[in-house]
Amino acid sequence: MEGNKLILDKLKEIVSNLPELPGVYQYFNSEGKIIYVGKAKNLRKRVSSYFSKVHDNRKTAILVNKIAEIKFLVVETEEDALLLENNLIKKYQPRYNVLLKDDKSFPWICIKNEPFPRVFFTRNVIRDGSSYFGPYTSVPMVRTLIDVAKRMYPIRNCNLNLSKNNLISEKYKVCLEFQIGNCKGPCESLQSNEDYNEGISQIKDILKGNLSSVLTHLKEKMIQLAEAYKFEEAEVIKNKISILENYKSKSTIVSSSISNIDVFSLDQDENYAYINFLRVVDGAIIQAHTLEIKKRLEESKEELLALGIIEIRQKFFLNSKEIILPFSIGIQLKDVKMIIPQIGDKRKLLELSERNVKFYKLEKNKQLSLRTPKERSDRILEQMKIDLRLSEIPHRIECFDNSNIQGAQPVSACVVFIDGKPAKREYRHFNVKTVEGPNDFASMEEIIYRRYHRVITENGQFPNLIVIDGGKGQLSSAVATLEKLQIRGSVAVIGIAKKLEEIIYPDDPIPLYLDKNSETLRIIQHLRNEAHRFGITFHRNKRSIEFITNELSQLSGIGDKTVELLMKRFKSVTRLGSAPIEEITKEVGEKRAIKIIEFFSNKKPIGNNNHSEKI
């Protein structure tokens, strides 16, 4: 304890001497390892906040307890602090910082720095003077762009050294690519360097997204060729224009007046943040990407989005002067205009980005649930706890439903779900014993009492949640019985009304309406439907059994006492119907046994009530 106090006093002294300037602070543990890196507009104010209050977040409290040393770096602006923070996080990967999940190698398009440059796909950027375009997030997009370029401009795909000396010495011969028209044969000087480089220049414009300037150039050239009566050459240019316009039409989603803009949006759940990025040039999206960040502490949405913007701008070498955002991130990037659009084409772009990031999150959660059913179950139960305002996760849920026909033969059913799935071996049936006539409220009181009185006496397992299929009356009856058993405070109880799928609470006059697509509502509906199905099946079987026993007692020579004797021996109609004649003969004699066997041979088999609870 004395050692901890000395460390805390030392840290507070460091904090009191921190400058009130922008910078980056680093926390080290007792082993000298960096455990957290943060940025601040005001270093002293930001760092002191860690030591001047009690933290509700458990991870933050643990972090503070592990800090043994503080170091800091002062920078000129908050933007510089953000950049430095991002680089230090990637370099040291501190335990308590967000984790940037995007560490794969992206594809690029390379225009090689060489005579008669090649254009090809690569994942390695080599600083040799070559031009690189990207990185792209889609390999099919890269291949499409290269295909568009090669269809418009015949460029070589060989790796020959077409130096001036090699061309003069006529070292190479044209290949099949020349014969089929995919190359104009620069290896034999059949194409000039100037003509080849004009095509390369236009390919660069296409890759930069400057389609308008390329289209304008091609249209002017087409008109010149047509005026010179070179119609075949003009037709070739026209085909190139068609290819480009087709490519552009598939990408354009807003006004072409929107040029060189980056769009960012954010969505998040408890553990991850997702940041979508769109790059728009001449009204066309030429790049799209979603960055995934693993959250560690109580990072705000502004901090997460700012970190994502810096990471993406560095990774994609972006220099756009205008950024579209869903909300202010609290800092200003140098020479960058930040816009939060409310209407118009820029608002549509932001909404497109927001839809993309939501789809990404949903798809990720869907794939995760397919890979790890346990994690999916835990996630759904955690969401149920939040949606239904429960104090604990509903690992065990029991649902009750009553069934009768105009008060006749009233029965009830109890179904059990464990971790969101039916536990059919724990389903139970009840014959209502103390209620006469159609009285759902009294039936519910009886069944709830019998169910949980038995759980108490047998020291059984209580559910985390009880669901009553019915309205306020049935729910009130159930709650009154739980209070009588003195277990009301131990179990959460809700009702579900069929008409509007309302979730009803005992002490709240205002019902809860869940989203129709929510997993919580789907599980509650599954519970209700399963209880209804199970109860109706039992009720139907019970009526069939009564009908059969009545018919048996009408047979000549077989009265009520004989039926009672048979049921006492065989326990159920199903067992009686499937019993061999010898066993029945032992009980009632051969003549009666033959009549019973003939009776059942003309009847359909009756299902057994394996789950009936005899209390």
Q: What is the pLDDT of residues 56-102, one digit of tens each?
A: 677 788 888 888 888 887 777 777 787 778 777 877 888 888 776 65
Q: How many angstroms separate the Cα of 392 from the Cα of each of 264, 268, 481? A: 37, 23, 22
Q: Is the pLDDT of residue 407 over 60?
A: no
Q: Which two tokens stand for residue 441?
A: 């409220």
pLDDT category at 463 given cuts 50, 70, 90 is: very high
> Residue 553: is its pLDDT beyond 70?
no
Candidate from 256-260, 264-268, 434-438, 485-489 with smallest mean pLDDT = 256-260
Of all residues in the chain, the percent with pLDDT exceeding 90 is 9
Cβ of 388: how many Cβ atoms within 10 Å? 19
Contacts 24+ apart (CB under 8 A), 434-442: 435/410, 436/407, 437/407, 438/404, 438/406, 438/407, 438/410, 439/407, 440/402, 440/470, 440/473, 440/474, 441/473, 441/474, 441/476, 441/477, 442/477
Of the two residues 567 and 463, the one the predictor is more confident about is 463
Tokens of 53: 């209050």
What pLDDT does residue 469 have? 87
What pLDDT is recorded for position 480?
92
Q: Is the link from the previous residue into 135 a cis peptide, with omega within 30 of 0? A: yes
Q: Which residues contact 68 (CB under 8 A, 6 or more apart)?
A: 7, 28, 29, 30
**Which stretch of DSSP H or E encloses residue 2?**
helix 2-16
pLDDT computed for residue 439 by the predictor = 78
DSSP letters, 238-297, are: HHHHHHHHHHHHHHB-S-TT--SEEEEEEEE-SSEEEEEEEEEETTEEEEEEEEEEE--S
Give yes or no for residue 576 having a pLDDT over 50: yes
Q: What architecture is domain 261-368?
A: 2-Layer Sandwich (3.30)
- 178-189 pLDDT per residue, tens: 888 888 888 888
Q: What is the pLDDT of residue 298?
A: 77
pLDDT of residue 416: 93
Q: Given this model, what pLDDT does residue 378 score?
A: 83
Q: How confident is the model at residue 605 (pLDDT cuts 50, 70, 90)?
A: very low
Angle between helices 590-601 and 519-554 (to 10 degrees): 140
Measure the CA–CA gap between 533 and 540, rounded to whole angstroms.
10
Q: Which fold has domain 384-537?
A: Nucleotidyltransferase; domain 5 (3.30.420)
Q: Which phi and psi angles does 485 have, rounded to 5°?
A: -85, -5
Q: What's the average model confidence in pLDDT over 509-513?
A: 85
Residue 448, pLDDT > 70, answer: yes
pLDDT tier, 611 (very low <50, low <70, confident <90, very high otherwise):
very low
**516 CB burial (10 A radius; 0-12, 13-18, 19+):** exposed
The pLDDT tens digits for 7-38 are 777 787 788 878 888 888 889 888 888 899 88
Which pLDDT tens digit goes with each residue over 91-133?
788 888 877 665 456 688 888 888 889 888 888 777 778 888 7
CB 576 within 8 A of CB 552: no
Task: Name the DSSP letter for residue 197.
Answer: H
Residues 29 and 13: their CA atoms lie apart, in Å, by 17
82 touches 21 (CB < 8 A): no
**Where are the chain's structural domains?**
2-97, 108-251, 261-368, 384-537
Q: What is the mean pLDDT of the chain?
A: 79
- With vertex at residue 412, the alpha carbon angle to CA 407 and CA 417, rounded to the nearest 5 degrees, is 155
Please indicate whether the domains covering 2-97 and 384-537 agree at the CATH topology level.
no
Task: Judge whether 277 and 262 are in contact, CB under 8 Å.
Answer: yes
According to the model, what pLDDT value does residue 102 have? Answer: 55
CATH number of 2-97: 3.40.1440.10
Banded pLDDT at 369 (limits 50, 70, 90): low
Helix (H, G, I), strand (E, B) or coil at 512: strand
